[in-house]
Structure 1
């Protein structure tokens, strides 16, 4: 256990092992970021008593603060995404960086990367978080190198007149605040965990004239933003015959007549299969993003223990679609010859087959037009000059502008593992 608030040989050993992993996995790619991660004592920024094994793990965040309901509202992010975000920002000695969302550790890393000649400002809306960050930065020797500000970063920050070379947003954002762009230099970079219809990507944007174009993107999750930039999901509960619930969570575009789904879990279940397959262990995170971009009625699902869906948890994923009085959700089944699974959709409701077919059509479209290709993102603030967007570009409306997600024309370039064919449909008892 780590019970001493100091750096020692055992902590340094854990720290070096973590950095070696980050290098091996390509999450750290520059010497200046490597040196920062080998230097800053991560264990001195987490709760006292946190085991070194938990502190220096590759992919686990460490909670800092929870709300009265136990939900984490501030945390030290997983080491891998901290490394990737700093690399995405393309920071170096002498540069200036604004961090939105404080904790202390990440700000100390940034101070090491930009050096004595650089500038780091860290902002948070929660006074408990900023007080803690100041105390820890002072205790670890970074107090004079990081300016911690208590403020809602959704508003312009007083006294910050010089633009920043980079902005790192370390909380989940539904939109980009105009104030952030006011603080960003021409050609500057902003790295932000951006929520797009419920799906988050940590996007590295570069400012180009009146808009932002992506240079990189990573898959990760973050605690949501508080204050003026907060955006709550809408959650609907569907009861089953035993009083358990399926929860449908809409980030945007919740159907107006959700009452049409009353009693839907008492109907027979329908299955539609796509013919699109994937091998075990291969990520299909961009399929979720494709749904968020092109599947009207898209939502995320959660289920209570005791529901029929909970019993089949290993064969479905928490992404769904609502169509009137019916809903469908992403499912898989084994490929007969082994070595992979086939994508499909299971559905409930009088028109469950239509809902499942709508999802399957988008699985096939992803396989045909986007699989194996990296999407590009752009942010177009209100008032910017926007081009005509083609059929391979999804346009998501935000409060202060538009987000676009674009895939290159791909019909001839993609060689998916499963060729589309006519769907197969089966009815099973609910």
Structure 2
């Protein structure tokens, strides 16, 4: 299509069709989800944004930023929305609560539940609520309820819900969410624990939540009563340990000294792949595993490998630490996992980490081998590895 002046005009329907075709290659599995993405006009929920950006399946659409430029709200990338909707397995006639409003995802849910279902979307920010309401009305989804409230408490007036879909990063699962689930209820939530985030589909089972599926995914953090902040432990100005929960008492002077001492390297003899699964195994197989972040300058100086610029799980013992790395190894299919270790106990901490790499490769090197549970405080202390939360605990076991 062209204008009279000869300039190309992008057709939203054609772009939407192309986006759905791309998502159907590796993300969308069900006809219902594909149909929802095919009919909801995503561009109406991002007025002023270019159509090419709107219909790029991997691009989130930031709708509000803070004074420092940090994203406070966004319409999530279509790819992650599709992933979570597939996890949710929404059926016609269901009642669904969406936590975190943008409008577009609520419209997709409305298509999935159909005219006999009900969709409620809640957000703490009045500006976002007004924007979502206006966009939904423009797109023809007036029956979606958009509520301004602190999502920590859910929306009890419309409960019970067959599905709760959380589109903000949550550090905990409030009691209200569990209480407002129906007997067949499922919560799909980007849950943060042990320094990482996973989109987990939890089913209600005997007063606790048990994972049906999980995948990599992160979102803008939740505001209000559910706000959390991570603990930062600076080793020096350019290297930091980050973790959820309190500082366990790292020996910072010794770790600072170890950073600039010679390092050792150890290789596992095991293939390096599925780094998100491997990382989940490492942080849930030892206690107090922080994430190591460091500057590009330290990478350029050869102190650390490039992985630390994005954050990588570190095993710490006293004044020594190790983190995961990789090297080319065609015999293992391309890459081999290993570790770099620093400090006076570098040999011991390297052996410990390499042991974890080998165990994962031998026993758990496939998707979905973790069992993630959320236990409310009333359920007691779980067995095995767990991390305490404000309202309960997240427990992870491997099978």
- TM-score of the superposed pair, with normalisation by structure 1: 0.84
Q: 1:156 to 1:56 in 2, by over 3 A?
A: closer
What is the deviation of 1:132?
1.2
**DSSP-derived class of the 1:359 partner:** helix
Aligned partners of 1:103 and 1:132 also within 8 Å:
yes
TM-score by length of 2: 0.90
Structure 2 unaligned spans of 5+:
1-8
Once the 2 structures are TM-superposed, how far is the Cα of residue 156 of structure 1 from its aligned partner? 4.7
Q: Distance in 1 between matches of 2:227 and 2:233?
A: 19
Instruction: Spell out, residue by residue over 1:344-378, the C-alpha distance to the aligned partner (whole angstroms, 9 max, x if none).
Output: 11122222333322221211221233222522222
1:246 aligns with 2:239: yes
- 1:185 and 1:340, CA in 2 relative to 1: closer, same or farther beyond 3 A? same
Look up the match of 2:138.
Answer: 139
Write 1 or 2 for the structure with the bigger share of helix. Answer: 2
1:45-194 alignment, distance < 5 Å: 45-48=45-48, 50-142=49-141, 144-157=142-155, 159-160=157-158, 162-194=159-191
- 1:29 is matched with 29
**Structure 2: how far apart are the matches of 1:92 and 1:252?**
38
Q: Report matched runs for 1:295-310 at 5 Å.
A: 295-308=286-299
Counterpart CA distance in 2 for 1:177 and 1:211 is 12
Deviation of 1:178 (Å): 0.4
Q: Is the 8 A contact 1:347 1:355 kept in 2?
A: yes
Measured in 2, the distance between the counterparts of 1:43 and 1:93 equals 25
Counterparts in 2 of 1:407 and 1:304: CA distance versus 1, 3 Å: same
Shift of 1:331: 0.8
What corresponds to 2:356 in structure 1? 362
Rate the CA distance shift 1:156–1:98 in 2: closer, same or farther, 3 A: closer
Counterpart Cα distance in 2 of 1:302 and 1:262: 13
* Superposed CA offset, 1:168-196 (max 9, x none): 01111111110101111112111111112
Q: CA deviation at 1:277?
A: 2.0
Change (3 A) 1:310 1:211: farther
Q: Distance in 1 between matches of 2:150 and 2:284?
A: 30
**Shift, 1:402, TM fit:** 2.2
2: distance between equivalents of 1:385 and 1:349?
A: 39
Give the superposition deviation at 1:12.
Answer: 0.7
- Secondary structure (helix, strand or coil) at the match of 1:294 reads coil
Quote the residue 1:396 is aligned against.
Answer: 387
How many residue pairs align between the two structures?
386
Distance in 2, Cα, partners of 1:46 & 1:299: 37
Is it true that 1:340 corresponds to 2:334 in the alignment?
yes
CA shift for structure 1 position 384? 2.6
Secondary structure of 1:113's aligned partner = helix
Aligned residues of 2:10 and 2:51 also touching (Cα < 8 A):
no
The DSSP-based 3-state class of the residue aligned with 2:219 is: coil
> How far off is 1:258 after superposition?
3.8
Which residue does 1:416 correspond to in 2? none
Within 5 A, what are the aligned runs for 1:199-348?
199-239=196-236, 245-252=238-245, 254-260=247-253, 261-278=255-272, 282-308=273-299, 313-314=305-306, 318-335=312-329, 339-348=333-342
Which residue is 2:3 aligned to? none
Question: Which position in structure 2 is the counterpart of 1:14?
Answer: 15
- Whole-Å separation in 1 of the counterparts to 2:356 and 2:246: 18
In 2, the alpha carbon distance for the partners of 1:398 and 1:318 equals 22
Tell me if the contact between 1:47 and 1:64 (Cα under 8 Å) persists in the aligned partners.
no
- Secondary structure, counterpart of 1:54 in structure 2: helix
Determine the C-alpha separation between the residues in 2 that align with 1:165 and 1:13: 34
> Do the aligned partners of 1:333 and 1:343 also contact (CA within 8 Å) in 2?
yes
Mapped contact 2:270–2:332 kept (Cα < 8 A):
no
What's the C-alpha RMSD, in Å, of the aligned pairs? Answer: 2.2
